[in-house]
Amino acid sequence: MENKAEILTVTNYGLDIYAHILREYYPNETVMQLSGRDCGLCRNPFAGGEHTLHIWIEKSNPDDSTSDELARHHDTTDTIPDGDAFTFAEQHYHLTGEDLLAKLAEDLHLVRKSESTDNENTGTPVFSFFCAPVSNTHPLKDYTLLDAYLYIIGSKAKKRTDDLRAISDKEQAKRFKSSSFDFCCFSGTFAKRNTDGLIKHSGLMCIDFDHIPDPESLRQNLLFDEYFDTQLMFRSPSGDGIKWIVSVDLSEFSHGDYFDAVAAYILQNYGIQIDKSGRDVCRACFLPYDSHAYINPQYLSSHGQESI
């Protein structure tokens, strides 16, 4: 990322920069909750952790309705100067200028558009990755199946996955999952997470199996399915379900029609009614921790890794 404007376009006006830094200080908390264009008061690590940091989104030029938007902040105790995501990042990294931009690009894994295009040209499926909470409709960056796999088997979501599975109250667990887990829309890249925001379909479909009595047996059966090749598969955040990512051919069918066909196939061959929410092309799929997640070996071998 070469300039601030480019970074703002892939960080939800800079909100993802604030969220990333705040998570560094408060990793097990919901650090921001966006309502409309306002995040309200958040904890400020530079003001003793008190809820004095007001973050919101506004026009860069309030007098021009066509001007770009960006996230800004104000501390109610004036502990730090007013500013935007970049001035807030300066407080954390103690860097400025190009050094700061490079550090943000590295830490937030920001991808240039040309890099995304390279993935498309090599036939690697590309889809949108979003930061929590699930109400966030603006993607952080493009992801590949290998990106998602490495996220899932890594430690990033382990604590929140363990915490979720320790919650016995269903409504409390639902709220925690919605506010705490990053997610993907495996079926494509999006300008915004809604049907009209679809930029390009990835050729992937996420099949969601909920509340399965024996997830491991289902996992093995799906891996050896004679009709579908598994591209990615992992346990659901709750632990009693399976997320099954398969390739689909939409040359003759719409996403919804193809999903209906897959649902009928699963019911006939496995006797399982799958979650119909997967019919929605922009359906969010939460990314948990699963050290035993499976990825099609072709994506490992193409990156110089051995199949496991």
For residue 116, is pLDDT > 70? no
Work out the angle at residue 135's Cα, subtended by the Cα atoms of residues 77 and 56, and round it to the nearest 5 degrees: 25
Task: Determine the average pLDDT of the residues in 41-69.
Answer: 88
The per-residue pLDDT for range 170-203, each reduced to its tens digit, is 999 999 999 999 999 999 999 999 998 999 999 9
Does position 304 have pLDDT exceeding 90, yes or no? no
- Rounded to whole angstroms, the Cα distance separating 69 from 307 reads 44
Helix orientation angle between 15-25 and 85-93, rounded to the nearest 10 degrees: 30
> Per-residue pLDDT tens for 237-260?
999 999 999 999 888 889 999 999
* Tokens encoding 62: 């309030």
- pLDDT-based confidence at residue 36 (cuts at 50, 70, 90): low
Q: What is the dihedral of CA 85, 90, 95, 96, to 10 degrees?
A: 60
The strand pair at 188-190 and 127-130 is best described as unpaired
pTM over 0.75: no
Helix (H, G, I), strand (E, B) or coil at 57: strand
